[in-house]
Structure 1
Amino acid sequence: MARIAIDMDGVMADTTQQYIDWYAARYGVQVDKTSLNGKPETTGFPLDGVVRQFLYTPGFFRTKPVIPGSQEVIKALNEQHEVYIVSAAMEFPQSLSEKLAWLQDHFPFIGWQQIVFCGHKRIVDADYMIDDHVKNLSTFKGEPLLFTAPHNMNVQEYKRVNTWEEVGALLLAGN
């Protein structure tokens, strides 16, 4: 049985789609997701700097769409492995309670003992970490798995997983 640390934002919760949806609702402009490829997170939108402000807006973390396949694969992983949801939740004041409520809604099979909200993930001790940010994977001592997101498209140094089906194929017994 492996210990698996799974990031929320950009891995379970589709942060990029949330940026796009919120931008369209507020500014009337639909941004194509592929136009964000290779650009730092929160950049690439017509009005510079406004997307970062969404991170401070109540409801942003609470209403993110679920990344397809994550619920089914994480449930299966949870049945075979020791799974922890590890999310940086200290920088944005409302994110802590919103992330917890989001997890309870979309991943009710994850118990409170399996949720770790932290500032920096260098404290995480696991066999695998699935994350979309190099800053979290660079200090990880286990096997890092980079979950594909527009902001990390040009990163080459880590084993990449593009979908939850790929995660399942890699980490679930019988696949």
Structure 2
Amino acid sequence: MKKSVAIDMDHVLADIEQQMIKWYADQYGVLVAKETLKGKAEQEAFPDKEKLRKLLFMPGFFRDTEVIEGAIDAVKKLIEDFEVYIVSAAMEFPQSLGEKKEWLTEHFPFISWKNIVFCGDKSIIDTDFMIDDHMKNLNYCKGRGMLFTASHNANIEYDVRVNNWKEACDYLYQNR
């Protein structure tokens, strides 16, 4: 029987950080340098957290996001040997549901709709592994959590941290 892996979307598959930087500059004329985000919570890393939050509700924000380097090839490989689920706590941003589904269909067409979970609270997810960028999700992971490095979690200690998709795959294959 294959082991199961839950994979978060934002900051793990989708480069939301770069999207925030780009859209903040486009909408408000302020370019935030990526280096200044390191170790700061997303809402604290930008000059105006309310303006940042508004971006997350704008049509197209989640649809037009770039893919994290290596994610497509890694997930293609993983589905050969693991039961892979894409899991996103998307309910906070209801307009993101359709956009995230369209984004997945475009970039990860090999993932079945049956393996996509949009939820409000990831504590319901029961997989052998969970790859996520937020401790709030890994704290309730029923299996083995893997913290995927993003600027906002750079200063957080966690026993299984992966910095990229190569490291994520290496860890999964060593521990299956």
Normalising by structure 2, we get a TM-score of 0.94
Alignment identity in percent?
Answer: 55
Matched, 1:112 2:105: no
Preserved CA contact (<8 Å) 1:121 1:136: yes
What's the counterpart of residue 165 of structure 1?
A: 166
Preserved CA contact (<8 Å) 2:138 2:145: yes
Normalising by structure 1, we get a TM-score of 0.94
Instruction: Look up the equivalent residue of 1:22 and give its one-letter code.
Output: W
SS of the residue aligned with 1:129? strand
The alpha-carbon deviation at position 31 of structure 1 amounts to 1.5
Range with greater deviation from structure 2 (148-157 or 127-136): 148-157
Alignment of 1:21-170 (within 5 A): 21-170=22-171
The alpha-carbon deviation at position 37 of structure 1 amounts to 0.8
Instruction: Look up the equivalent residue of 1:150 and give its one-letter code.
Output: S
Q: Which runs of 4+ in 1 moved over 6 A?
A: none
CA distance in 2, matches of 1:11, 1:158: 18
Preserved CA contact (<8 Å) 1:133 1:146: yes
CA distance in 1, matches of 2:46, 2:71: 27
CA distance in 1, matches of 2:98, 2:48: 29
Instruction: Look up the equivalent residue of 2:4 and give its one-letter code.
Output: R
Preserved CA contact (<8 Å) 2:147 2:158: no
The alpha-carbon deviation at position 48 of structure 1 amounts to 4.0
The alpha-carbon deviation at position 38 of structure 1 amounts to 1.0
Preserved CA contact (<8 Å) 1:11 1:67: yes
Structure 2 gaps, min length 5: none
Preserved CA contact (<8 Å) 1:43 1:51: no
- Greater helix share, 1 or 2? 2
SS of the residue aligned with 1:30? coil
CA distance in 2, matches of 1:43, 1:96: 25
Preserved CA contact (<8 Å) 2:74 2:165: yes
RMSD: 1.2
Preserved CA contact (<8 Å) 1:43 1:49: no
The alpha-carbon deviation at position 141 of structure 1 amounts to 1.6
Structure 1 gaps, min length 5: none
The alpha-carbon deviation at position 25 of structure 1 amounts to 1.2
